[in-house]
Amino acid sequence: MPSVDTDYSAYVNATYLIALGALAAALVWSAFRLLRARRKLDEAENPASDPHGDAEP
């Protein structure tokens, strides 16, 4: 059992790093997915760029 008075700040910081890092990653990932989906939808809804709508999505 590690004794009480040793310095745990390294471990405490590690937990915060992991938690905030994971949450930040989830945020960025969700935002990025939203962006890609919006672009895909805009392209599908108004295929102005190619009249016959045969461009790859």
Residue ranges in contact with other proteins by CB under 8 A = 1-2, 4, 7-9, 11-16, 18-20, 22-23, 25-27, 29-31, 33-34, 36-38, 40-41, 43-45, 47, 52-54, 57
Q: How far is the CB of 30 from other proteins (least distance, A)?
A: 4
**Closest distance between other proteins and the C-beta of residue 48, in Å?**
13
CA distances from 23 to 13, 15, 17, 33 (A): 15, 12, 10, 15
Query: Could you give the CA distance from residue 51 to residue 48 in angstroms, rounded to a whole number?
Result: 6
